[in-house]
Amino acid sequence: MDISTIASNTATAQVAVALSTHADAQSDASAGKTASVSKSVADLNALPVINPASHIDPALGIVVVETYNTTGEVVDQYPTSHMMQQYSLYGLSQS
């Protein structure tokens, strides 16, 4: 067997391994970027932009105002959940 053929095949194999390793590293980096982008998008969607936020309760047809803390948990609501329960029990509904 000719030594130039062995050297050529070895060099080709080393380039293929190097390209494969580089592609894997790029794939890992892009996966990390994708994970961090999706995490930051989830963080943006988790917290309300306006504090207090309001929405219309579809069952009752009234506006509900909610105040959030820095972690995104509801700390105050008007009308309260008890008031909304009473409205639904005593006939206030979107009919």
DSSP-derived 3-state class of residue 57 = strand
pTM over 0.75: no
DSSP label at 50? S
Whole-angstrom CA distances from 54 to 44, 58, 69, 80, 85 are: 18, 13, 15, 13, 18
Contact of 60 with 80, CB cutoff 8 Å: no
**What is the pLDDT at residue 1?**
47
Q: Where are the domains of the chain?
A: 1-46, 53-89
pLDDT digits (tens, 9 = 90+) for 75-93: 999 999 999 999 888 877 6
Q: How many other CB atoms are there within 10 angstroms of residue 6's CB atom? A: 10
CA 94 – CA 71 distance, rounded (Å) = 32
Mean pLDDT, the chain, rounded, equals 72
29-75 residue pLDDT tens: 555 555 666 666 666 565 657 789 999 999 888 999 999 998 889 99
